[in-house]
Amino acid sequence: MKILVSDPLGKAGLAVLKKEKALEIDERYGLKPEELKKIISDYDAIIIRSGTRLTKDIIEAAKKLRVIGRAGVGVDNVDLEAATKRGIIVMNTPEGNTISTAEQTFSLLMSLARNIPQAVSSVKGGEWKRQAFLGTELNGKVLGVIGFGRIGREVSKRATAFGMRVMVFDPFISKASVKEYPVEFKDLKSLLKAADFITVHTPLTPETKYILNSETFKFCKKGVKVINCARGGIIEEKALIEALESKKVSGAALDVFEKEPPAADHPLLRMPQVICTPHLGAATEEAQENVAVDVAHQVVDALANRAFKNAVNLPNVDPETFKAIRPWLNLAEQIGKLPAQLFEGSLKNVKIRYGGEVTRYNLKPLTIAVLKGLLTPICGETVNYVNAGGLAKERGITYEEVKSSEAGDFTNFIEVETSQNGEPNRVMGTIFGSQLPRIVRINEFLGMDVDPRGFVIFIKNQDQPGVVGKIGTILGNNKINIAEMSLARVTQGKKVFAMTTINTDSEVPAKVLTEIKKFSPIISVKVVNLGKYE
């Protein structure tokens, strides 16, 4: 079998590949898209970094391709939909750069505290201005950590060693699961008010995009310093510029930008109190070797049908079973995406009930698909079919699967019940026809017909005339097109309530949601992003 390595790979990773006598390894770097498209049909697997883009037309030309290995976390340079359609397994390496990114974060934090880059530049320019670079000690200061996954935890360990007091905001993690870390869990507002330094370690999701913005910066201490070694877009750059100009933020260290590379005239690059590095979080020899070795082992194992570690697009089931359960897998994952976006509070206990024909299959892949969906809004691209169960356990989320014999309103269904803030919440879905996943229940609202794709607005309101028309008018005035709409009603005592769900063709800005909320019959309104499914 032949493997194409189209981006530079660490020597240790190449050594893993080359010791497999059954494999032929071709290293061909810097291929242009048309060149890659012309030769890709010769290969059983391809290993890439960020330099190679595997677009739909290239993947469709890959007649023999079985495995795509990404040495790194992000797979945004791979058309996952096209790969999945062709049955190509796409794998990433989410763990190899944990330490390097944590160390980069702490390096920038210390550089901010002591004005090191500015002082170096000054001395090399022939100056000796000691008082101009008066710094601050880390000992006794409060570090606010937003996101407490692997990298956030490594950063907190280093901060504790320097005598810092660490506060954490992560609504999706169980305190009990990280009790060995001497940190204080806070809500976002409390953390922002207390922190002397703030570092972000979340994936970029609809929930985390612009989590630090013009409104949240208002809660911060005057003179706070911020660090971003995670993803561009978690901090709103326009708001950060304004906060730096007003001195609300006294310094920032950025390894990532909303657009990379940033424009040469980007205002942040001209500010002396801003430290910038060119996305170096994973740029250590050790991290590069780690991901190279990880991806090499994963590709070798996948080609030998031994294991499919860190597969981001396929569960480990045989092709015939996969074909049969594919609509249910789509449904399971889409149902899983709802609780974290729709309901408040951290996830604790998850109960997954299966009813009808779906119970004839092995339920483990479906349960893993639910967990992947549950964790995707929280963990972003780091979660996949292989690590979803481990990530759930790591975050203190317990789960169970149950085969139900109850014949309710729907004979065939998947229902996910979650416990959040002590409140149970239920989401049920079924398959219409043979292929169409649909959400049919949200808590007490039964009989819905929601296409679980893209942007969906969920509105709970008092059931009275004019509500739907008013919502439609608001959306129309803001040039937001309605793709689908579903209504469900429930009577509680003498009152009747409705849930209106609206699929839209585009993202719904916060100002539009605010306008809808102002309409008196509206009780609550939320928009979720469910992405695509096959």
Q: Where are the beta strands (DSSP E) in 161-320?
A: 165-169, 184-185, 197-200, 224-228, 249-254, 274-276
Say if residues 24 and 2 touch (Cβ distance below 8 Å). Answer: yes
Q: What phi and psi, each to the nearest 5 degrees, are found at residue 293?
A: -65, -45
Task: Please state, in angstroms and rounded to a whole number, the distance separating the CA atoms of residues 259 and 270.
Answer: 16
What is the pLDDT at residue 4? Answer: 98
- Is the pLDDT at 316 greater than 60? The verdict is no
442 in a structural domain? no
Answer yes or no: 289 catalytic.
no
Distance CA(303)–CA(287), nearest Å, equals 24
Domain boundary residue, one of 405, 434, 463: 434
> Concatenated DSSP letters for 288-306?
HHHHHHHHHHHHHHHHTTS
Residues forming beta bridges with residue 228, ordered by sequence position: 200, 254
CATH number for 376: 3.30.1330.90
Confidence band of 319 (pLDDT split at 50, 70, 90): low
Q: What stretch of H or E contains 462?
A: strand 455-462
The CATH number covering residue 49 comes to: 3.40.50.720
pLDDT at 406: 66
Looking at 66, 150, 153, 231, which residue is catalytic? Answer: 231
Report the CATH number that the domain containing residue 531 is assigned in CATH.
3.30.70.260
Pair of tokens at residue 417: 């019940």
Element spanning 156, H or E: helix 150-161
Residue 233 tokens read as 């877009």
Q: Domain of 133?
A: 98-276
**Do 490 and 341 belong together in one domain?**
no
With vertex at residue 391, the alpha carbon angle to CA 65 and CA 94, rounded to the nearest 5 degrees, is 45
Residues 124 and 211 in one domain: yes
**Is the peptide bond prior to 465 cis by the omega test (within 30 degrees of 0)?**
no
Confidence band for 153, pLDDT divided at 50, 70 and 90? very high
* pLDDT greater than 70 at residue 407: no
Has residue 441 been placed in a domain? no
Distances (CA, A) of 317 to 75, 249, 310, 325, 516: 22, 51, 14, 10, 44
- How do the residues of the chain divide into helix, strand and coil, expressed in percent and rounded to 5? 35, 25, 40
- Residue 448 resides in a domain: no
The stretches of 8-93 forming alpha helices (DSSP H) are: 11-18, 33-39, 56-60, 80-85
Q: Which residue has the tokens 């008082």?
A: 131
pLDDT tens digits, one per residue of 73-100: 888 899 988 887 777 889 999 888 899 9
The reply to whether 302 and 423 lie within a common domain is no
Q: Which one of 224, 252, 276 terminates a domain?
A: 276
Rounded Cα gap, residues 423 and 501, in angstroms: 22
Are residues 143 and 264 located together in one domain of the fold?
yes
- Asked if residue 384 is part of any domain, the answer here is yes
Inside any domain, residue 409: yes
Average pLDDT over residues 7-32: 95
Regarding whether 252 and 289 lie in a shared domain, the answer is no
pLDDT in tens, 450-508: 999 999 999 999 999 999 999 999 999 999 999 999 999 999 888 999 999 999 999 99
Is 231 a known active-site residue? yes
pLDDT range class, residue 320, cuts 50, 70, 90: low
Same domain, 125 and 272: yes
Token pair for residue 118? 């500015």
Task: Please name which of 511, 190, 171 lies closest in space to residue 344, comparing C-alpha atoms.
Answer: 171
Average model confidence (pLDDT) for the chain? 91
- Measured CA to CA, the distance from residue 103 to residue 295 in angstroms comes to 22
The pLDDT-based confidence of 42 (bands split at 50, 70, 90) is very high
pLDDT at position 117:
96
Q: Report d(CA 371, CA 440) in Å as an integer.
A: 19
Contact 465/362 with Cβ under 8 angstroms? no
Residue 16 lies in a domain: yes
Split into its structural domains, the chain has a count of 4
Give the whole-angstrom CA distance, residue 487 versus residue 115.
57
Angle at 374 between CA 368 and CA 375, to 5 degrees: 90
Q: Which residues pair with 349 in a beta bridge?
A: 398
Q: What pLDDT was estimated at residue 408?
A: 65
pLDDT at 114 over 90: yes
- Which listed residue (207, 242, 266, 279) is catalytic? 279
- The token pair at 486 is 């579903």
Q: Report the DSSP pairing between strands 347-355 and 398-404.
A: parallel
Do 409 and 476 belong to one domain? Answer: no
Concatenating the DSSP letter of every residue in 47-66 gives EE-SS--B-HHHHHT-SS--
Give the pLDDT of residue 31: 96
The DSSP call for residue 44 is: S
Residues 299, 22: Cα–Cα separation, whole Å: 13
User: What is each CA distance from 502 to 13, 243, 480, 484, 514, in whole angstroms?
Assistant: 48, 36, 11, 6, 16
Burial of residue 370 (number of CB atoms within 10 Å: 0-12, 13-18, 19+):
buried
Please report the pLDDT score of residue 533 as a whole number: 73
Residues 79 and 208 in one domain: no
Same domain, 345 and 272: no
Place of tokens 């040495």: 71
State percent of the chain over pLDDT 70: 97
User: Does 270 lie in the same domain as 139?
Assistant: yes
Over the stretch 332-383, which tens digit does the pLDDT of each residue have? 999 999 998 999 888 888 999 999 888 888 888 899 999 999 998 888 877 8
Q: Are 437 and 449 in contact, with CB atoms under 8 Å apart?
A: no
**Any domain includes 439:** no
- Choose the catalytic residue: 34, 180, 260, 320: 260
Q: Which of 379, 407, 434 is the last residue of a domain?
A: 434
- pLDDT of res. 361: 83
H or E stretch at 145: strand 142-146
Residue 446 in domain: no
Token digits for 160? 């504790």
213 and 117 within one domain? yes
Mean of pLDDT values over 270-278 = 97
* Residues 41, 127 within the same domain: no
| Residue 433 backbone zone (phi > 0: left; psi -120 to 50: alpha; other: beta) | left
Whether 407 and 330 have beta carbons less than 8 Å apart is answered as: no
